[in-house]
Amino acid sequence: MKILIIEDNPDHAELARLALEPHFEVCLLKSGEDALQYLEGIAENDCPAAILLDYSLPGIDGLTLFERIIENGYDMPVIIVTGKGDEVIAVKAMKKGVYDYVVKSGNYRAVLPSVIHKAVKQHEVEKEKAKLSLELKRLVITDDLTGLFNRRYFYKKIEEEIVRAKRQNGKLSLILFDLDYFKEYNDTFGHLEGDGVLKETGRIILYSIRDKVDSGFRYGGDEFAVILPGADKKHASDVAGRIKRSVKEKKMGNVDISAGIVEYVPESSMEDFIKTADGALYESKKLRGRGVNIK
């Protein structure tokens, strides 16, 4: 486990190194500038597990350096070292996110290994909690079968995009899909094969839309939706056509797609926007796979 010590006083740096080396691999740097340069050039798997940071550094002081480390997205616990009488600075640093502090008084170096072990452990626990929280949020808004977002999140997302489109006077389009002949396929080949069709449709939708711009949803059963921020009806029609062709090319029995497309107009409510797309889908269903309907 590598520990980065940033300390301009060579005697203090050497004493800290001697205190830590029985427990850790130690890297010594003399200034904030050196530290930022070191971190910028280091591989992710070679990053230090923690940083022991002296507050009184030439050029960039310890607190400013810590803020720069956070701003640059480096994810590691920082323990700040202050002189006696600088406890107010240490508390200020803790409020900004420093994991712990050590005051240079008495035999303070004896506590360094335990302080660092504690900070590293705390950091690992917090990272695991954040990971679990993120996964829980993902599960709440995701359809298990297809990997698309679920219906619950559809309403939240479309409301957000309507607000953004109004605020920025931008375009917004919605596609509602329905799988034609899916019931017949399901009845003929069974639910497992039917689930395979739904999964494949979800994969095709994700492949056909813009990553981190558009959003795909399983709207319910064999119904799907795509929200396209910044897109007009022409772009939405191209996307729907691409998805339709891809589904047909998979030759999943007679399964095909009908789609209803609508472009948002500012005077529409969210309910009217969805209702218009649903009406376009209904008209498209009458064609049974022969086209999409645009409102």
Among the listed residues 178, 214, 222, 278, the single catalytic one is 222
The arrangement of strands across the sheet holding 100-104 comes to 25-29, 2-6, 50-54, 78-83, 100-104
DSSP assignment letter at 48:
-
250: three-class secondary structure by DSSP? coil
Instruction: Say which amino acid occupies 174.
Output: L
| CA angle 92–98–99, rounded 5-degree value | 125
The set of residues, in sequence order, having a beta carbon less than 8 Å from that of 215 and lying 6+ positions away, is: 149, 157, 209, 226, 227
CA distance 17 to 3: 9
Question: Within a 10 A sphere around the Cβ of 75, how many other Cβ atoms?
Answer: 10
75 carries an active-site annotation: no
CB 20 within 8 A of CB 112: yes
Q: Which residues are catalytic?
A: 222
